[in-house]
Structure formats: C-alpha cells, structure tokens
Amino acid sequence: MLYAAIKVLLTAVLVVAISEIAKRSSLLGGIIASLPLTSVLALIWLYGETGDTAKVASLASSIFWYVLPSLVLFILLPVLISKGMGFWPSLFAASAATFAAYLLMTAVLGRFGIAL
C-alpha cells in the first residue's frame, strides 16, 4: 500500500510541477511535458514490481504505437481554440478525435498482425 501511495504521489508531483512551470513558460512546460516521464515511470514501476523484461518491452512497444494517435489531441486542440471554439468544447472534440484515432490505430495494427 505504501508503494502505491509513493507512486501516486510522485506522479502527482510531476503533473503539478509541469503545470506550475507552464504558468511561467509554455515553452519550458511543453518541453518537460513532452518528455516521456510518465512512460518512463510506468516502465520503472512495472519492472520494479514484476522484474519481467518481456512485459517492459511489450509496454514500451505499445507506448510507441499509441503515441502516434495521441498526437491528434495536440494538433487539433490548438486549431479548434484558434478557430474560436471555447476551451472545454475544443478539449472534448479533440479528445473524441483522439479516441477515434486510437480505435483506428488498433484496427490498423491488427490488420498488419501487430499484436500488443
């Protein structure tokens, strides 16, 4: 239980730190947020809990493939906002489009026999 609490606390501190940095500099906040820190933490937690390098490799592979459709959010959100759509509707629409992109990526990967 303590281990899980430490994981949650460390991850929360990371997210809060990024948002605080972004208040001062969106460039620096964006650079830090774009680092795969959450993914690295997940890989470390998984390896620490299982010691299973095959699971770590599988997770890393899945992260790679699903980073691609996640880019839809970061492309569409600023476009919608710049077109005058409010933040919340833009976030909802970009999130929905990202979900659709995830579904499409899953179908494409399956079609090519890439099992994750």
The model's pTM is 0.78
Of 71 and 4, the structure prediction assigns the larger pLDDT to 71
Angle at which helices 2-24 and 37-50 cross, to 10°: 170
Answer whether residue 46 is part of any domain.
Answer: no
Answer whether residue 92 is part of any domain.
Answer: yes
Domain count, the chain: 1
pLDDT category of residue 7 using cuts at 50, 70 and 90: confident
Answer whether residue 47 is part of any domain.
Answer: no
Closest Cα partner for 95 from 76, 78, 81, 109?
Answer: 76
**Residue listed under structure tokens 């820190």:** 37
- Tens of pLDDT, residue by residue over 22-58, are 999 999 988 888 888 889 989 999 999 999 999 999 9
Answer whether residue 36 is part of any domain.
Answer: no
Answer whether residue 8 is part of any domain.
Answer: no
Given a cut of 80, is residue 115 above it in pLDDT? no
**Residue listed under structure tokens 């079609």:** 111
Answer whether residue 104 is part of any domain.
Answer: yes
- Tens of pLDDT, residue by residue over 73-100, are 999 999 999 999 999 999 999 999 999 9
CA distance 38 to 8: 11
Enumerate long-range contacts of 42-45, CB under 8 Å, 24 or more apart.
Answer: 45/7
Please tell me the predicted confidence (pLDDT) of residue 98: 97
Domain that residue 77 falls in = 52-116
Answer whether residue 80 is part of any domain.
Answer: yes
Burial 26-59 (b: 16+ CB within 10 A, else e): eeebeeebeeeeeeeebbebbeeeeeeeeebeeb
Answer whether residue 84 is part of any domain.
Answer: yes
